[in-house]
Amino acid sequence: MKSPGGQERPSSHARGGAGRRRGRGGASGGPAGLVGVRSYPFAGQFPAPPPASGSLNCPGQARSDTAALAQPPPPPPPPAQTSPGPVKMGAVPNRRLGSVRGVPMSSPPGRRARLSSPGTGRSSSEAREELRRRLLGLIESNRVMIFSKSYCPHSARVKELFSSLGVECNILELDRVDDGANVQEVLSEITNQKTVPNIFVNKVHMGGCDRTFQEAAILGKKVMVLDFVVPSPQGTSWGLGGTCVNVGCVPKKLMHQAALLGQALSDARKFGWEYSQQVKHNWETMTEAIQNHIGSLNWGYRLSLREKAVAYVNSYGEFVEHHKIKATNRKGQETYYTAAKFVLATGERPRYLGIQGDKEYCITSDDLFSLPYCPGKTLVVGASYVALECAGFLAGIGLDVTVMVRSVLLRGFDQEMAEKVGSYMEQHGVKFLRKFVPVMVQQLEKGSPGKLKVVAKSTEGPETIEEVYNTVLLAIGRDSCTRKIGLEKIGVKINEKSGKIPVNDVEQTNVPYVYAVGDILEGKLELTPVAIQAGKLLARRLFAGCLEKCDYVNVPTTVFAPLEYGCCGLSEEKAIEVYKKENLEVYHTLFWPLEWTVASRDNNTCYAKIICNKFDNYRVIGFHVLGPNAGEITQGFAAAMKCGLTKQLLDDTIGIHPTCGEVFTTLEITKSSGLDITQKGC
C-alpha cells in the first residue's frame, strides 16, 4: 500500500482496538474494515490469535539446478564440484543425509567435498572474481538462497522453517564443496556477515538465523492490518484480537468455568470437604481477572505483529477505488493506502431488536464480559448458543435468569440435543418464556444495575406480558460488517439480505484481488477455528505456492451451556434430509459420569449419539455428546471422522475406563430398536 508519503504497504483490516474502553465515541461509524485479523464470537476466529503464525506446514518443493551439490558416497573420496550450486529442497537424501520435517539435512560431516578452481590458468584475483560472479548468479536466480553448513544447528533451524513454509529454496552446503572457506570469505565481502546460515530472499540479504525467523515468514511481502472497533451503543470497545478473544470464546469459557466451580463447591461436601463459611460469588473480582488476562493477550498480539514486521494501524478502513482504501483513526484523521491484494476479515456484530429502548437500555455480548457491575436479575432474549451459554453461566453464579425464546432452541443444531440442553437448564433454575418476543423496553430506575420494564407479545396470539429486570441481554443473532466499508465502490458482491459475501473454493470474491475469510462468508460456518484455518491456508496459497484449500466438512464445535453439547458432522434432521431415514442407523445411550455418582447428581441426563450411513460401511456422519467436557471429547472424535470413522472402528477401539468418552466404544442400542437406553451404573 502507498501512504500519502509514497511508502508502499499492502493492507489488511478487522475489528479490534487499542484496549477495552467504555463510554467513548468512535472515529467513524460502522464495522471494522478491511484485511486482517478476525475472531468469532462464541462456540466454535486472518488468525486467532490475530497475527498469522510463522510456521506454515507445507512440504518443501524440490527444484532442479544445473549446478547441484555433490552427493559424496563413502570412500573413495567424492568428485570435486566445479561450481557452487544449491541443494534441492525435497531431494531424496543420500546415505550421509538425515531429514527434519522433510528437509534434507546433513548429518555431522565426515569427508567434505571441495570446490575445484574455476580454471587452472587463471590468477588468484580472476578466480576470486569468477567465484563472486557465480555466487551472485545463484542469489539472482533463486527466490530463496541459503548458504549453509550441514552440521550447523542454526542452519538446520532455517532449513526447517522454509520447509514448513512450503517455500522452494535452494541450499549450498559450504562444508560439502571444494574451497568452501573461500566461498564463505567472498560471501562475507558481499554481505558483511561472517557466519552461516546466510540467507537471501528475493535477492535481498535477510541475514542469519534470528533475522530470518523474523522476516522470512512474510517472504518479502509488506503487510498491514487495519483494525478498528466501533463502540457498542453502550460505549464498549476492546483491543486487538477480534471478537473471540475480547467478547466471545475466551471470556465466555472463563465465565462458564466460574459457574462450573460453583457446582464443584456444592459437590465437594459429598467428597468429604468441610467448610462452614458462606460461599458467594463476586462479579467484580471475576471480570477484573478475566479482563486482565484478555489485556495480556491483546498486548501479545501487538508484539507478535511487530515481530513479524506487520504494520498495525488502529483505523477504520473503507474502499474508495480499486486497490485503494481510506483509513480513518479515532481523531477523524484520514490516510490513504494502496495494495495489490486485500483480505476482508471484518466479522459480525450483535443484532438489535429495532424496538423502543433496545439500544438505549439493553446490552449484548459486546458489553457483558466487561460489565463493571453484577447484572442482577437478567432477561436473555434469544435461543442461540450465545443466549444459552450466557444464560447458563449467569444462572451458575447464582443470578435469577429468564430466557425469552421466539421459536426453537439452537436453530441449525440437532433438535433432540437442543431440547436436552434446554431441559437441563430448566431443571437447574433457568426459566424459559417460549413463543414470546419483546416489543418495548422501558427504564424504571437508573443504577448499576437499574430497573427495566419489558413488555413482550406472544408469537401465537394477542397475549402480552410485563416483567421487571435489572438487565436485558440481547442474543438474537449477528450482522455481517460488510455494508459500510465501500465494497460497492469496487464491485464486490454481497448478499443484500444477509450481508454475507459469496466466495469461491479459495475464498476469492468476484473481484479477483479481494479475498474474504471468517463469519462474513456466505454458506460457511461461523466459528473461530474455521476463520483461522481459512486465513492460514489462504496465505500459503497466495505467497508460498501451496494448493491446499480449507475443508469446511465435519467441523467440530461445542455449545458451552451448563451441560456442554459437542457435535461434529450432520444433525439427525440434516442426515435424514440428505440420506433418507431408511438409509441411516442411529446408535445412542444415556450415561452417568462417575464424578456425578458420589455427588448424587442427575442420573440418565448425559447422552451420546452417532448417526451412521448404512450403505457406506456404517460411516459415522454425525457425532453428538451431551455431558461434562463435551468439547474435549468431541475434538478427538472429530479427527477420527476426518479419517473416515465407522461404527466398526469404534467397536474395535478399547475405551479408557472410567471416562465419558468411552461410551462411544460400547454403543449397541439403535433408535430403530426402541430398546431402553437408561443406565444402571457407571
Q: Return the active site residues.
A: 657
Helix axes 283-307, 249-268, angle to 10 degrees: 140
User: Are the C-beta atoms of 239 and 298 separated by less than 8 Å?
Assistant: yes
Q: How many CB atoms lie within 10 A of CB 153?
A: 8
Distance between first and last Cα of the chain: 62
Phi, psi angles (nearest 5°) of residue 416: -65, -45
> Distance of alpha carbon 331 from its chain centroid, rounded?
31
Residue partners of 106: CB distance under 8 A and separation at least 6? 96, 97, 98, 150, 151, 173, 175, 176
The whole-angstrom separation of Cα 16 and Cα 242 is 5
Rg (CA), the chain: 30
Residue 451 CA to residue 102 CA, distance in Å, equals 64
**Pairing mode of beta strands 619-626, 565-569:** antiparallel
Closest-CA residue to 83 (of 71, 96, 69, 102) = 69
Helices 385-396, 415-427: crossing angle, 10 deg rounding: 20
Query: How many Cα atoms within 13 Å fall on the side-chain side of residue 386?
Result: 26
Cα distance between residue 507 and residue 503, in whole Å: 5
Per the CB < 8 A criterion, the answer to whether 246 and 33 are in contact is no
Count of other CB atoms within 10 angstroms of residue 457: 16
DSSP conformational letter for 674: T
**Rounded to the nearest 5°, which phi and psi values hold at 257?**
-65, -40
Cα 44–chain centre separation: 9
**Which residues have C-beta within 8 Å of that of residue 661, sequence separation ≥ 6?**
633, 636, 637, 655
Phi, psi of 612 (to 5 degrees): -120, 145
Is 590 within 8 Å of 605 (Cβ atoms)?
yes
CA torsion, ordered 112, 118, 122, 126, to nearest 10 deg: -100
- Residues 39, 56: contact at Cβ < 8 Å? no
Q: Can you read off the three cell numbers belonging to residue 145?
A: 538462497
H or E, element range at 488: helix 487-490
Burial of 51 (0-12, 13-18, 19+ CB in 10 A): buried
Given a contact cutoff of 8 angstroms between Cβ atoms, the answer to whether 41 and 250 are in contact is: no
